[in-house]
Chain A
Amino acid sequence: MVNKAERRGLALVPRFEYLPGLALPDLARARLALSAARAAAERGDFPCDLGGAGRTADETAERLSSAGEVLVVAGAGDEVARALLVAALERRGVAVALGAPPAAAPGAPAGAATGASAGAAPSAREELFLVAERGELSGPGAQLGALFERTDERTLQRRGAGRAAGVAPEIERIALVSGLAEARALAGEAGLLAALRVPRRLERARLDELVAAASELAARLGAERVRLAFEPRAGEPGRLGGAAWAARYGLEDARLRADLVELVDRALPQHLGLVHTALGYWEIGVDPLEEMYAGNALPDRNAELLANIV
């Protein structure tokens, strides 16, 4: 019989995504989720939470409280979520180790038990095509190596099934497309999910080109099948504007902020309300998803807030 002190748990902290229907998930984080899911599937029955089950830090810690020690895994930019979970575990007397998920054996399944999910995506088995910069295929597609295997110059094929894959579990094949003209040609095929790469610096002509491509893709595929793939920042995302998520989308840069609004306004207007709302969060320096993870919703804290006067 394994006693509590010997039971080691695993927790991957959640990622706070404000524009899941518009932005392609962070692929580096997706790799982390996949490797955690594989490790979990390999080890079988042990205390585990892979950050996709919609629990708060306290609820997660409660589920893991049977472990003597929990390995807490977080991606770059997830430091606040990690700190919240670590504090919640320590309040319950659970020892915490920080680090990467243990390596899984090659080919181990990323089990359905993970409950992790990569955000809103079409439900049918989909193909994804990523649009790289002109003539280059070194953009977001290059980061998919851990999830997908390159079968030819232009194609990445999924390696294993599972809900932990960051590009949505239904996506089986990714076509890498060089340039928007090629993307438009490919978009005639049904069942595709398109991710347009948005560089950190957008010239006027490039913005117009992206708007035209996004509009055309939305008209052909349906707007819910078009995503933006934001060019990763160099180095670690910081807490500019109060949140790492804002830095990931480039919202700390006034020009890219304006470009994003214009792109969405002109090509994907159904997202405009949510983009405005996210800009507002950034502007006033709040991170509501982080607050919810911390258990700070107004009704949940109400009694505490009134303690001195009621």
Chain B
Amino acid sequence: MSRAWSVLPPPGPLSWLHPELAGLDRAVRARAAARSPVRCVDLGAARWSTAALASAEELELAGGPLGRALREHLGAALGSGTRLTLSEAPGEVAGVLATLTAGTSWWLTPLGAADAGAELAAREALPLTPASAERVRAARRTDAAWVLPIADARDVDEALRALARDPAPFRAAGLVPFFAERAPATSGARPATRRASAWFGILPGDECPTALRLGLRELVRLLHPERTLAQRAHENHALAASDLYAQALAGRFLAPPPEARRARARIVALEGIDGSGKSSHVAGLRAFLEQRGVPCKAYKIYRHGVFHATVTDLTRRCAGEHELHLWRLQRLAKLFDSLKALEGALRADLERPGVLLFDRYVFTHLAAEAGRLHHDPYARELLASFPAPDLFWLLDLPAERALERIGQRGERTVDENRYMLGRYRDVLLDLADRRGARVLSAEAPFEANQAVLRADVVRLLEAEEVRA
């Protein structure tokens, strides 16, 4: 018996946004599975596991953008023991959609095809008129979809003109607009991002001019108003190079978050936005502990200097909405720098008795990512090397007040603007709530806050003594 299997990838972001495409996909998949001379595994229709797939000698993945994404995932998950190939012909609606010519709307009718070998041969191009909309609406079935491939701003303008008078018939017919896939860097223009394969249909490719993107937003709003915010969220994640499909394939969030081994030193984390007074409080606490004979060190895991300046240079390239994936890359660079700090002197200090005071801890990383990208570039996993803090305080300060304080310091960093300081604050407050942190107003007198911090530390140390 052959040990080669044919594999159909599970539905991706385009179907998450437009579920009718998943329905269409399923009809095509059933036919593909029935025709397949080898065992056909449809990952969108049955339970599966990487371990089960590993028992095949060869997996032939259906062509198309999702197949490419699946190959990348399985290549990493299965190693070299299983041969992975991509079939030439797209075996999924996604693959066919990716090859449609732009500027025409198509009615896909897979089950009506006469030729069983080309299930989508019966697709029919329809003009974008109310009469077409009525025809589609009257004949609408779960195994057909009316789709509008968009390649450039001209296509968007034409579609918006066609819908301008009354989008209702097109809405009723369920017209689905999507970006037709293009080869990377076709025009030589600076790319908007490095788009992951699975975001096909949401963005045309690496190049995605603002006017084109905004035009598609408006098309989706007119045709599927209830999906507009989801479409914008997908677009945001695609531009920020967050590959949610790959994360879903890997089951990233099914397991509980990894936890670091408890350190011997007590970890005390002071968080807050710029200007909230963290450094002064850390210095005050350090002096207090040293006076009491408690071994104590202060750490900063967010470093400045040449490293920081280089990352800032990288970030500057995002100007003009170009190369937005660099926002994610600069976050990764900063995460790795904190890990580098951990693997230096800090690692040894974690294993010694005493108190380690952190002027910002892992929560600042989490706030930066959630605040700016609305996701995280594997920060949860990367930061798991840091032990959970024994004490976590948040010095809370409104962004406006922080900017007043920062104003006297000279040149501002990339994050020292009203929007980002506000985002940091919002996420830190949420994290403080979820992690049971004590929140102090940074506008309270220094001595009052310092007294609270010292009392908390003393309680922590006394509890330790009792346990010892």
Contact = CB atoms under 8 A, between A and B. Distances in A.
Nearest to B210: A299
A142 to B, nearest CB: 25
Contacts of A284: 366, 369-370, 375-376, 379-380
Nearest to B42: A269
A280 B252 contact: yes
A241 B327 CA distance: 25
B183 to A, nearest CB: 22
Given A280-B248, A297-B233, 17 more contacts: A223-B26, A224-B23, A270-B44, A273-B248, A280-B244, A280-B253, A284-B376, A285-B434, A287-B374, A289-B229, A297-B232, A299-B235, A299-B324, A301-B372, A308-B412, A309-B312, A309-B414
A53 B225 contact: yes
Contact of A120 (B19, B221, B412): B19
Nearest to B371: A296
Contact of A261 (B254, B321, B413): B254
Contacts of A222: 23, 26, 142
Given A123-B140, A283-B380, A308 B417 contact: yes
A306 interface: yes
A309 B315 contact: yes
Interface of B: 10-12, 15-16, 19-20, 22-23, 26, 43-47, 137, 140, 142, 168, 172, 174, 192, 210, 213, 220-221, 224-230, 232-233, 235-237, 239-240, 244-245, 247-249, 251-254, 257, 312, 315-316, 318-319, 321, 324, 327, 366, 369-370, 372-376, 379-380, 412-414, 416-417, 419-420, 423, 427, 430-431, 434
Most buried by A among B213, B312, B417: B417
A276 interface: yes
A293 interface: yes
B316 A309 contact: yes
Contact of A292 (B140, B233, B245, B312): B233
Contacts of A265: 47
A224 B16 CA distance: 12
B219 to A, nearest CB: 11
A173 B419 CA distance: 48
Interface in A116-174: 117-120, 122-124
B374 A291 contact: yes
Interface stretch (A14-22, A96-104, A178-186, A194-202): A14-22
Given A283-B380, A285-B431, A306-B414, A292 B229 contact: yes
A52 B236 contact: no
Contacts of A207: none
Given A123-B172, A283-B380, A298 B225 contact: no
A291 B233 contact: yes
Interface in A257-310: 261, 265-266, 269-270, 272-274, 276-277, 279-281, 283-289, 291-293, 296-299, 301-310
A273 B246 CA distance: 9
Contacts of B416: 308
Interface in A17-31: 20-21
Contacts of A272: 10, 248
A286 B374 contact: yes
Contacts of A53: 221, 225, 228
Contact of B248 (A55, A276, A291): A276
**How big is the A interface, by class?**
35 or more
B380 A16 contact: no
A269 B26 CA distance: 11
B430 A302 contact: no
Contacts of B15: 270
A267 to B, nearest CB: 10
Nearest to B312: A309
Return the 6 tightest CB-CB contacts between A and B, nearest first: A54-B228, A54-B225, A288-B233, A276-B248, A273-B248, A21-B19
Nearest to A261: B254
B16 to A, nearest CB: 5
A118 B224 CA distance: 11
B329 to A, nearest CB: 13
A83 to B, nearest CB: 12
10 contacts: A222-B23, A269-B10, A277-B244, A284-B366, A284-B379, A285-B427, A297-B232, A302-B321, A309-B316, A309-B413
Contact of B417 (A21, A241, A307): A307
B339 to A, nearest CB: 18
B312 to A, nearest CB: 6
Contacts of B23: 222-224
B420 A305 contact: yes
Contacts of B312: 309
A119 B312 CA distance: 42
Contacts of B220: 54
A301 B419 contact: yes
A289 B374 CA distance: 10
A68 interface: no
Given A120-B19, A301-B419, A283 B257 contact: yes
A304 B142 contact: no
Most buried by A among B225, B324, B412, B430: B225
B142 A224 contact: yes
B221 A55 contact: yes
A115 interface: yes
Contact of B45 (A117, A118, A269, A276): A269
Most buried by B among A283, A286, A287, A304: A286
B370 A285 contact: yes
Contacts of A122: 142
A281 B370 CA distance: 10
